Structures are given as structure tokens and as C-alpha cells.
Structure 1
Amino acid sequence: MLRTIAQIKEKLEDKKAVVWTVEELKVQVAEKGVSQVAKEVDVVTTGTFEPMESSGAMINLGHTDPPINIRQCWLDGVPAYTGLGAVDLYLGATAIPDYRSSGEANELEARLGMNHKERSGGHIIQDLIAGKQIQLKAMGQVSDCYPRASFQTTLTRDTINQFYLYNPRNVYQNFIVGVNAGERILYTYLGPLHPRLGNAVYSCPGAISPLFNDPLLELIGIGTPVFLGGGIGYIAAEGTQHFPKQRRLANQTPIGPAATLTLVGDAKTMDPRWVRGCYFKNYGPSLMMGVGIPLPMLSEEAVAYCAIKDEDIVAPIVDFSIPRRVRPTFGLVNYAQLKSGKIKIEGETVRTAPLASIPRSREIATLLKEQILAGTFPIAEPIAPLPKDRAFLPQDRWGSQFALD
């Protein structure tokens, strides 16, 4: 080991630490080699800005007088989960509007200037972070402790107690490339896929993405601070669908979806530039999240992993025209080819496009570097490692389809 996190923290306090973005490191390695760079750099910053629909916000409203035990709740017509404490809510990023009348929908459309069908929990989260007003309507379960039956008010970020993001699955370590070999356009979580291999869409920003640069999860763990939505968040646990046992190349990068993270952070400190509700036509809502992770360069091996380039990492080309959990693929393609704007599939040229914003991903890595050097972003030891032995368990072995009357 070249250095410890404690030594890095000491160098940061003395203003002697060297912090590079991951792209800067890759350039330095190409010029000087891994061994020399490992002697120089202390921290490498990574970033991504991409759809992360398994996200949401925990909100505590504070008690009313008389008190209410909320059992149904709507924020600008979008339902929040209420099966918690009396005034605790969880607002999922993909929650969709549940207006009780067309008049209410029309009123909100006029106020918000957007189609109510395209507004989601992600947009509510974005607006609260931005300090905007949100209309709350709540129905209560009446009891001796909570005699109030209903409640209506206007909320802002500053009029609620706690408002933090609790995101069960963020920052996929690689993902897929979506294509459509069928005869009609398909509307998917990757956006529209045009028929007869009309386009190919990928989600991950490639070699600058956080977990590609720590493929074996040796530099981060539970408790690691991260740039989350413009504020400081933390890795709380493995993410849902965490699958570190995915097949890997010789450089240890996975060939498809692998590790994921559960991230938590105070939304009152975030910036709506980095937390944005979005809508995919004829599919549904999602949330664009900005996440950056600092990686301490503790060894030559850590530097070597961060030196990977887009041509060194691959993703599977998946055909969405087959409506099954396991879809056929057209093999693997590297990210350099994807970022070139076109790939070859069975001899045909197919145009490509990213869902992730690569310029914003770079901007996050740069912002994180600046914050670390300024002493406004902490570097810390994980309190526990992330699991590396999780398998993926599908449900089709356990049940069957049923018909609704």
C-alpha cells in the first residue's frame, strides 16, 4: 500500500494533496505510466449524470394541530407512500399523478405549464429542492391520538422538518445497449428504440463512470461520502439488484449490469441542476441524478484500474423486440465505439446516442475535485465493505401469471 486514507486526509488538511479527475489521471498514466502516477496522485474524482429511477425522498411534515395520522397523501396530485409514522412520507421518483378530478388536473396544468401526465415524483422532488411551493392534500385515520380527518396546505423545502433522498438503486456499474430488431417503434426506459435497428441507446457514460474505476469495490464501502445531487451524500448499503458476480473481462470490469449503490443525502443542501425529474414518452417518468465518487489512490493497482479507457470496457447489445426477461443480444460493443456515434450490428451501421450527459458527468468530477481541494467535501474511511458475492434471483421460477376479473 502506497498510502492510507488517514494520510490522504492529513495531506488535504496541509494543502499538499494531489487530486485529479479520472480523465486527468488517464492522460497522466498514458504519459508517465502507472508506477509514476501512483507516487503522485492521492485522490481521483469520478462522475455521472444519468437516469436513476429507483430514487425517492423521505419527508417529515411536522404535526398539525389537532394532529393527523396521514394514510393518503398527494403532493401536487402525485401520491406519496404513507405506511410509516403519522406525518412521515416517502415520495418515489416514478410516482405518477392521481388527480381526483379533471378540474384539479387542469388547474395544476395551468399553474405548472406542463402536461400533468408527464409530471411525477421526480418533478416534485426537483421543485422542492429548488424552493418552489407544492400543494399538499392529506387524508387521515381518525383515532384518539389523531382526531383530524384531513389536511391541506402549501409546502416548501423550508416548511418541512426532514427532506432527504433515499435512493435504493443508483450508479449502476455498467448497463446495456438497447436496440429494436422488430417492425414497430418501442418506447422503453432507454427512450424510443426505432424498428429494424434504427438506433442504439446506452445509459452509462463509460470510463468516467464511478464504479468502472473501482471494479472490485475495494476503495469505497458503506459510509463513503459521495457527491449526491449537488450536496454531500453517503453510501448507505448495496443497491437493489446489486450483482457483483457479473461476468468480467480480464481488467475486472463487468460485461453488463453489476454492482449498484443505495445512496442517502440531505435534499435541503442539493441543487436542482443535479436532480431533475424527466419523462420518457409512452414509457413513464424517471429522475436524472448527478453522482460523483472520490476514489482514494491507495495502491498501484487502484491507479491501474482507474486507467481504463472506453475501448477497454464493453456492454451487451440487447434486442428489446423480444418481450422476455432474458432477451437475445447482438454481442458486446466497447464504449469507444458507442461514443463514436455509430456501431456495426450484423454488417449494418446503427447510430448511437447516450442517455447520460457526458459533459455534465465531467462537470461533476471537476466540481468534486474543487470541493475536495477547498476542504468542503470530506474523504472518509468506509465503515464496512460492500458485498461482493450477491447473485441475481429472478422471480419467474416461483410464480405464474394470473388474470384479473
Structure 2
Amino acid sequence: MSDASEFSGKSRTVPEIQAKIDSGEALVLTAAEISEKVRAGEEVRFEDVDVVTTATRGIMSGTYAVLSFKVSEPDSFVRASEVLLNGVPAVPGPCPNERLGILDLVVLGTAHSETDPRYGGGHLFRELVEGKSVRVDVTTSDGETFTAETSLAEMPFARLYATRHAFRNYKAFVNPGKDSLNTIFHALPFEGEFRELTFCGCGELNPIENDPGLETIGIGTRVLLNGAEGFVTGSGTRSSPKNPNLAGFADLHGMKPGYMGGFITSGGPEIINTWAVPIPVMHPGILDNILKVDREIPLQLVDVAGRLPLCEISYGDVWDGADLKVRYKPEDCLECESCDVDGVCPMEAIKRTPEGKIKHNRGLCFNCGLCVSRCKGGAFVAKLGSVRCTTGGCMREIKVTLRQSDRARAVKAAEELKKEVLSGKFRITAPVEKIRFP
């Protein structure tokens, strides 16, 4: 980790930076804006930027919510033993709320509905934030059952917790075997013999990639989690100095549905989250990390079955020249009798109307690109690229067919954080304590 004392008096504190923001003198840029300047050959000096807003959006399995709400009048039952929310199992407790008619529940983001295999905790949390009503099926400790309805507006307490989010970088995956595999790293059975590649991570936009030493991100750092103001509570599970990730929380009441949701994989429903994190540029060493672009950020390609490393590539291999958004061109739709895209979209953003037309829901679209590789008519368009990798003595060119990170909305999240910082709505906080590893 670098030390501000190394930089010959060139340093500033978080309170000093916030004071510049308050006076309207601060220079705030997004990570994407910084990278654009670097690629254009522009020099970015310590004096040119006070805060960089970073972001990442992707599948982040380590998620749960704690919900508390009334379901009946007091003394109508002793306590709940089993609860389903839209079919998704919840764990009653830890407080039993005996005879109060109130439920305290823990719901895992990766929990799967008992009635719909394509619905999980991520879908449930998004629908709550959208203001939709939720069915509550309760089995009491006496063995009786009843059904109620609730919504986020009727929940005094509804908080989302991250146990493993915003990892510095993740991995790219291939299946070297002959047989297809069901996995959380693909929306369909993952084809074998190196026929396709999937990956996770927003590269140069990732918060911890811009602060790999966790000098500015620590316990108590204020962030936006799915658009709601929240805080870092420390490092997440399986976090390490070389591969750190974050734990944190935010209130569901302030979240934005467009930043969250469920993502259907061949291994079952997963959950999407979005983090936006400000990086105060306190000394030139912090800026050095921020100036790194995708091609300088390593990405490990592994065998999806055993996570065995196959070769090293970079985020430049998967993001440089790629289209961040998927476009739908209805004029190119062949209106196939059996559409290869309808029903396989992991966000269910592509649906066939009763008239046989295909509709693309941009609000739900994750820009994963699966539709691009599956549509016979080429009606879904995006450059996803391919990766060259030498494995087993052979040079292979492997097509990217699925992205499990949505960089387009990560860019948007960083832009929104920048606006909130400049307006004074979001105030930058120094960590209460550094994140330390065993």
C-alpha cells in the first residue's frame, strides 16, 4: 500500500476534498471519463481531479435481506415456523415476535422459489422495490397455515446486506470438456470444447480496481448500493489482499429497481447488484491506479468445472471494442415459428406477444449478449468479440457469448454518483477503520 508521505507534500484529506465540493471548486470525474482521457493520450495530473466515481454491476451471489412487517393482528398465532414470499423460502427470526403478528425474516438472494424454477430472491427484491405486492404464505408453530399480502411500503424495516460484493475482479470461463455443463456462469448449458466464453467484471470501472490497496475504501465508507445510500462494513467472504471484495448494507426503501434483479442461469436463479463508490484522490499514488485501463488489468481464464487456470488475458480482451449495449432491430426479425431467443433470456427481457412479435424490454435488459449469439436472423446486435488464448499448446480463438456484468449501467451508476457528489446530496466519508486481512 502506498503512503501519502511518499509524495513530497502532494496530499489532501477527505475533509479537505469535501470542503472543495461544498465550495463548488472540486473536480469530479467518473472512472469512464478518466479512461477516455488516458486512451486519448491526455495527461491527467493530481491537480486535475479530486474525486473519481467508480461502479460495477453484475451477479453478486453473496446477498441477503432482513425484512420485518406485520401479517396479522396480535395473538392470532404464536410464531411462524415456515414462510414463503412469492414462493421464495424465508428463514423466520432471529426474533420470534411471539404472539405479535409480526414477522422478522432473512431471505437469501440466491433462494429459489418452490413454485417457479425461474424465480428467486433477486426477482423478489426487485419486485419489492418496484412497489409490487408480495404473497406471504405462513405456517405457524401450531401447524396452521394462512396467506397474507404485503409490500415494501408496509415494511418498517427492509435492509439488503452484502456478504461478498464488488470484488476487485472476477474471472472468465470456458468449458474444455466434451459435455455441456449446467452452471451459474451461463444462462444455458455451457457448451464444451472451448466453443464459448463467459466472464464477469467491469474492469477499469470496478471500485476496488481503482483502489486496490483499500486506502480510501474501508469500514464506514459511504457508497450507493443499487442506488441507495449505504455503507461498507468490511471485507466480504473469501476476501484476500490479492482478491478483495466488500461487505456492506443499504436500505431497500431507497433502491432503484433498474440496478438490481434476478438473473436466470442453468444452475438456477442468481441475483444482480450495483455498487457506485467514490474514490477521493488523496495523493498521486491513488491516481496511478485510477489511470490504469482495461488492457492493464489481468483477467484469468479458467475451466468452469474445476476453476483450474488455463491462461491469462486482460479486461481489454473482453471490453475493448465491444458494444456495451445490445440493440434490437425488429426489421431483421425472421419471426421464426420456434424462436431461439424467447424463453432463454436470463432477464426475461425478450418476450413474444400474442400476435407473434418479439418485444425487447430495455428496462430489464442486462446487455449480457446471449441473444446475439442465439438469434438466427441477427435481429439482436452487439459486438461481443472473442478472446485468443493458448491452452494445452494450442492457440484458440474463443467467442464471448455471455457477459455477467452490465458495464453500460455501471457507467450510468458512476455518472449518477458524480451528480450526487457535486450537488452535495452525497457526502464523502473517510473510513472509520482500514480493512485488514488475516
The alignment's TM-score, normalised by the length of structure 2, stands at 0.76
Q: Which string of whole-angstrom CA distances, capped at 9 and with x for unpartnered residues, describes residues 233-272 of structure 1? A: 111121111122x3xxxxxxxxxxx111112001011111
Kindly state the Cα deviation for residue 294 of structure 1 after the two structures are TM-superposed. Answer: 0.5
How far did residue 173 of structure 1 move?
Answer: 1.1
Cα offset, 1:29, TM superposition: 5.0
Whether the 8 Å CA contact 1:177–1:203 is kept in 2: the answer is yes
Match of 2:86 among 58, 72, 76: 76
1:237 matched residue in structure 2: 234
Structure 1 position 47 matched with structure 2 position 55: yes
CA contact (8 A) 1:205 1:354 kept: no
Does residue 18 (structure 1) correspond to residue 27 (structure 2)? The answer is: yes
Is 1:280 matched with 2:265?
yes
Give the equivalent residue in structure 2 for 1:347: 395
Question: What is the aligned partner in structure 2 of residue 94 from structure 1?
Answer: 110
CA distance in 2, matches of 1:58, 1:97: 17
Of structures 1 and 2, the one scoring higher in RCO (CA 8 A, sep 6+) is: 1
Query: Are the equivalent residues in 1 in contact too, given 2:71–2:148 (CA < 8 A)?
Result: no
Q: Would the aligned equivalents of 1:81 and 1:91 in 2 still touch at CA under 8 Å?
A: yes
Aligned pair 1:319/2:303, yes or no? yes
AA aligned opposite 1:45 = T
The 8 Å contact of residues 70 and 138 in structure 1, kept in 2 or not, is answered as yes
Separation in structure 2 between the aligned mates of residue 83 and residue 95 of structure 1, nearest angstrom: 17
Please show how residues 2-401 of structure 1 align to structure 2 within 5 Å: 2-28=11-37, 31-34=41-44, 37-62=45-70, 64-67=72-75, 68-86=78-96, 87-98=103-114, 105=115, 116-141=116-141, 150-191=145-186, 192=188, 193-244=190-241, 246=242, 258-281=243-266, 283-321=267-305, 324=306, 327-340=307-320, 341-345=385-389, 346-352=394-400, 353-387=402-436, 389-390=437-438
Query: Secondary structure at the residue paired with 2:95?
Result: coil
Q: Which letter maps to 2:254?
A: T
Give CA-to-partner distance per residue, 1:158-179, whole Å, 9 cap, x none: 1111011012111111111100
Structure 1: distance between partners of 2:206 and 2:181 = 27
What do residues 153-210 of structure 1 show as CA deviations (whole Å, max 9, x unaligned)? 1001111110110121111111111001111222222104321100111100111111
In the other structure, the counterpart of 2:360 is none
Q: Which amino acid aligns with 1:298?
A: M
CA–CA separation in structure 2 for the residues paired with 1:202 and 1:126 = 24
Letter in 2 for 1:77: G
Contact (CA 8 Å) 2:214, 2:435: kept in 1 or not? Answer: yes
State the 1:384 CA deviation: 1.0
Compare 197-206 and 58-67 and name the one that shifted more. Answer: 58-67
Q: Higher mean Cα deviation, 208-217 or 343-352?
A: 343-352
Higher mean displacement: 62-71 or 164-173:
62-71
Q: Deviations over 1:124-145 (max 9, x none)?
A: 1111111000011122336xxx
- Following the alignment from structure 1 to structure 2, what is the Cα–Cα distance between the partners of residues 40 and 79? 51
Q: What's the counterpart of residue 112 of structure 1?
A: none
* Secondary structure of 2:117 counterpart: helix
Alpha-carbon shift at residue 338 of structure 1 (Å): 2.0
1:328 deviation in Å? 2.7
State the SS of the aligned residue for 2:416: helix
Cα distance in 1 for partners of 2:70, 2:22 equals 39
Kept in 2, the 8 Å contact 1:93–1:285? The answer is no
| Counterparts of 2:79 and 2:164, CA distance in 1 | 29
The answer on whether the counterparts of 1:178 and 1:319 sit within 8 Å (CA) in structure 2 is yes
**Alignment partner, residue 255 of structure 1:** none
Tell me how far apart the structure 1 counterparts of residues 90 and 62 of structure 2 sit (CA, whole Å): 15
Deviation of 1:302 (Å): 0.6
- What is the deviation of 1:339? 2.3
The one-letter code sitting in structure 2 at the alignment partner of 1:118 is R
d(CA) in 1 for partners of 2:84, 2:214: 39
**8 Å contact 1:62–1:161 — kept in the other structure?**
no
Question: Which amino acid is the alignment partner of residue 383 of structure 1?
Answer: V
Q: Secondary structure at the match of 1:215?
A: coil
Q: What is the alpha-carbon distance in structure 1 between the residues aligned to residue 309 and residue 42 of structure 2?
A: 39
Task: Report if the CA contact (8 A) 1:71-1:83 is conserved.
Answer: no
The 1-side partners of 2:90 and 2:234 are apart by: 23
d(CA) in 2 for partners of 1:32, 1:180? 40
Q: Which amino acid aligns with 1:313?
A: I
Determine the C-alpha separation between the residues in 1 that align with 2:19 and 2:178: 60
Q: Which runs of 5 or more residues in structure 2 are unaligned?
A: 5-10, 97-102, 321-384
Does the CA-based 8 Å contact 1:93-1:120 persist in structure 2? yes
Q: State TM-score, norm by structure 1.
A: 0.82
Mean CA deviation greater in 340-349 or 310-319: 340-349
Paired with 2:88 and 2:387, the residues of 1 have a C-alpha distance of 40
Q: Which residue of 1 aligns with 2:324?
A: none
Q: Bigger CA drift: 157-166 or 343-352?
A: 343-352
User: What secondary structure does 1:212 align onto?
Assistant: helix
Instruction: Indicate if the aligned counterparts of 1:213 and 1:306 stay in contact, CA closer than 8 A.
Output: yes
CA distance in 1, matches of 2:433, 2:80: 36
Question: Contact 2:35–2:293 at 8 Å: present in 1 too?
Answer: yes
| Deviation of the 1:32 alpha carbon | 4.8
Amino acid corresponding to residue 305 of structure 1 in structure 2: N
- Pair 77,63 (structure 1): closer, same or farther in 2 beyond 3 Å: closer
Task: Structure 1: state its 5+ residue gaps.
Answer: 99-104, 106-115, 143-147, 247-257, 391-405
CA distance in 1 between counterparts of 2:289 and 2:50 reads: 14
* Structure 1 letter corresponding to 2:59: P
Instruction: Give the Cα separation in 1 of the matches to 2:405 and 2:235.
Output: 22
